[in-house]
Every structure is written in structure tokens, then in C-alpha cells.
A = this chain, B = another copy of it.
Amino acid sequence: MADNSIESLDLERAPERLGDAAYREMKERIIRGVYRPGHKLTVRAIAQDLEVSTTPARDAINRLTSEGALVYAGPKTVVVPVLDAAALREITLTRLALEGLASEQAAQHGAPADVEELKSLQKLINSALDDKRYTDALWHNKEFHFTIYRLSGLPQLVSMIESLWLRIGPSLHNLYPEFAEEKYGVRNHEIAMEALAERDAASLRAAMENDIRDGYRRLKRANLERDAGRSS
């Protein structure tokens, strides 16, 4: 047996598989709202879209399914999930726990340069909202959050949070444009930036939690309206 004294020194040694690329592309499409809730996905269609064979396409779909980003709507039918009230609540509770933790930890590592980056991201969000480019606003909003979470220095935690965003992402797209009217989240983001500058963990956590709760309320309201509209 070889001497493997390095052991835990080998980080980020994942090779670049075709299936990984397919997975990443699918992920981005889901977050960007290309596939809306209820959209049915088939292996062969994805393979054609991404110009790969069925194997990597199937890999990507399976991975997304096991993460909860896609769900079975039948034995041979995989769709982008339509979140019901219970699922929405569960994801929100989990987000509060995980993103709250990440925020707290991030407060301990925030440098001035990070605050600057957040500021410029916030500008991007604002101007996207002004121009009614809602998909862009959502994207920059995601970057804002994850810029903070990455500061936690806890990469596995960050990727768990990512999988939660993958689950709510599609529903968010169904919310716009009403969602944006009130300049969603701006106030919370401002408080978050201040808190990070002051390395105030509790305040940063509170600001991020408020942001999550705000979004939750809007999503819930939108869902109720949709369900009411459907039964008529």
C-alpha cells in the first residue's frame, strides 16, 4: 500500500466530468427561471438541449432530483416542483437556520473590501429593479446573499444553502413583477452591510433572517392568490 500521508491535503480535486457541466448548466437555468414550476423534464430532451448524450443528462437530472431541486410527479415524470404551503414553510425554517448560521460566521471574517463588493452588488440590484429586469435582480440578489455566506469560510454549509435556493428559485420567478414593486429587501440589505462593517454578528444574522422572512411572506401570499384563482 502506498504512503498516503497527505490524506486531507487534497482539496478541490474533482475532475471535470461532462455530467458536472450538465448539472451546472441545469442549475443555472433553474435559478434563472428558464424552467418554471411544473415544467416536465426528460432525459432525451435535456441531452439534446445541452448537446450531450443521455448519460450525462441523466446524471444531471438524477443529481438534481436527489437534491430536491426536481421532483417526481409520476414514475417516469420529473418536474420542477410546485411548492405547496408546507414545503414552503419547511424550506424557510431550514433557510433561517442555515443562512442565519452562515451570516453569524460571516460577520467574523468580513473585511472592508467585502462591504464594497456588497455595495456594488446592491447597486446592480437597484438598477435592475428600476429597469424592471427582474431576472437580473433576482440573480444579483442571489450573489449578494452568497457573497456574505461565503465569508463564513464554511464551504459545505454554503453548498447546502445553495440547494435550498435551487428549491425556491423557480417559485420566485412566478412572483415578479408584483414582487419588486416595493423594492424588496433593500432595507434589510442596507442593515446587513452596516452590520458586516461593524462585525456585529447578531445584527447581521437578524437582517438576513428578516430578508428571508420578508420573501417568505410574499411567496405565501402569492401562492394563496394563485390557489384562490385556480379554484374559481
A interface residues, Cβ below 8 angstroms from B: 4-5, 7-8, 10, 13-15, 19, 38, 59, 62-63, 66-68, 72-76, 82-84, 87, 90-91, 93-94, 97-98, 100-101, 105, 154-157, 160, 230
Considering the chains assembled together, what is the distance between the CA atoms of A231 and B73 in angstroms?
54
A157 lies within 8 A of B90 (CB): yes
Report chain B residues within 8 Å CB of A38.
Answer: 4, 7
A160 near B157 with CB under 8 A, answer no
The 3 closest A-B pairs by CB, nearest first: A8-B84, A15-B75, A97-B97
Residues from chain B with a CB closer than 8 A to the CB of A63 are: 62-63, 66
A156 touches B94 (CB 8 A): yes
Q: How far is the CA of A74 from the CA of B7 in the complex (A)?
A: 11
The quantity of this chain's copies bound in the complex is 2
Which B residues are in CB contact (< 8 Å) with A76? 15
Known contacts: A8-B84, A66-B63, A156-B68. The answer to whether A13 contacts B93 by CB under 8 A is no
Query: Contacts A38-B4, A38-B7, A101-B97 given: A72-B154 contact, CB under 8 Å?
Result: no
Additional pairs, 5, CB under 8 Å, beyond known A13-B73, A19-B62, A93-B154: A8-B87, A15-B76, A62-B62, A63-B63, A93-B101
